[in-house]
Amino acid sequence: MNRAKIIATGYYLPSRILTNEDLEKIVDTTDEWITTRTGIKERHIAENDESSSDMGIKAGSMALEKAGLEPEDIDAVICATITPDHFFPSTACLIQKGLNLKNSFAFDVSAACSGFIYALHIAEAILLQDRVKTVLVIAAEKMSSITDWKDRATCVLFGDGAGAAILQKKKGDRGILSSFLGSDGNFGDLLIVPAGGSRTPVTEEIVRGGQHFLHMKGNEVFKVAVQKMVNSALNSLGRAGLEAKDVKLLIPHQANLRIIKAVAKRLKLRDEQVFINVDKVGNMSAATIALGLAEAEEKKIIKSGDIVNLVSFGAGFTWAGMVLRW
């Protein structure tokens, strides 16, 4: 049987680190509040002139090198991002240019924090149904570019970075085993960048009111996040004929340590079954799970044949679960 298999991963984190102590000097907050409410201690922040595509290019370049592939081997590029360099051209096209991927088509996916799993799902469909042999999936986010640095309720939560995965069609039982994707636009207003698009173009007044920044009703998002992530994990595992106890590693979206712990508890997972890096990188939206997967591979937390469960939740609302046999 043919499966879409991840043959290499890559990642990039900007070198600049913003700690909770640094944030104490910017807004009315404390390390104690951020740590107990979110589990975040620090996050990486891109340079002013460093964009999502710049970070995606670095993550993609690492994946290409690890796969031992040449740029011309890539047939398609899918970039998950909610912080594109521009409305258009797509960030995927900019990454294609940056990596000199002459033989590929390229497009973006907008599914917020679920974007990486959505993009892997699309990559699988393209690989299994088309002549495409190799797909590069990138998730790249410069969350700092849509952050209101005067809003303590949101500015402490997010970080910048990128992750990448290269997929190929392979015979055998390793690769993507199942996916479970969902959305509910009724919750759109709870986590949104209100202005800057065609609904409310940017004006001086909009900018003065900070409507071009990310806005979130955090505690309302929290409640749905736990429920949908548990549901996505169980449904994706069920579709693969597996249970939570079969999972070597759950890589959940890293928005908040309390959410991750609540999800793990409901799934009855042991600590060593759950990947956590939110303390070091904060919430990087779509790039979070891409980085988690690359880190888990690099640190050899996952090995050939292990069952890996990716689970996400984000703006839209969108949610997703995916089961891989590594």
253 has catalytic annotation: yes
Q: Smallest distance from the beta carbon of 7 to ligand UT7, in angstroms?
A: 28
- 40 versus 46: smaller Cβ distance to ligand UT7: 40
Instruction: Report which secondary-structure segment, H or E, holds 136.
Output: strand 134-142
Nearer to ligand UT7, 38 or 168 (CB): 38
User: Among the options 79, 93, 113, 155, which is catalytic?
Assistant: 113
Q: Using CB under 6 A, which of 8, 59, 214, 259 touches ligand UT7?
A: 259
Set 121, 212, 215, 253: catalytic member: 253
Beta bridge partners of 106: 77
How many whole angstroms separate alpha carbon 249 and alpha carbon 233?
A: 12
192 binds ligand UT7 (CB under 6 A): no
C-alpha–C-alpha distance, residues 137 and 122, integer Å: 10
| Residue 152 found at the interface with ligand UT7 (CB under 6 A) | yes
Does 113 bind ligand UT7 (CB under 6 A)? Our answer is yes
Residue 101 sits in the site that holds ligand UT7 (CB under 6 A): no
| Number of residue whose CB is nearest ligand UT7 | 218
CA distance from start to end of the chain: 16
> Quick check: 70 and 100 in contact, CB under 8 A?
no
Report yes or no: 107 and 90 within 8 Å, Cβ to Cβ.
Answer: yes
Write the CB contacts of 250 (distance below 8 Å, at least 6 apart in sequence).
233, 263, 264, 267, 269, 273, 274, 275, 308, 309, 311
Interacting stretch for ligand UT7, rule CB under 6 A, among 57-65, 66-74, 133-141, 216-224?
A: 216-224
Candidates 30-38, 52-60, 63-71, 120-128; binding stretch for ligand UT7 (CB under 6 A): 30-38
Phi, psi dihedrals of residue 29, rounded to the nearest 5°: -145, 175
Q: Is 283 a catalytic residue?
A: yes
**Cα–Cα dist 323/239, whole Å:** 9
Residue 221 within binding range of ligand UT7, rule CB under 6 A: yes
Judged by the rule CB under 6 A, the positions of this chain that interact with ligand UT7 are 29, 33-34, 37-38, 113, 152-153, 156-157, 218-219, 221-222, 225, 255-256, 259, 283, 313-314
Q: Which residues are catalytic?
A: 113, 253, 283
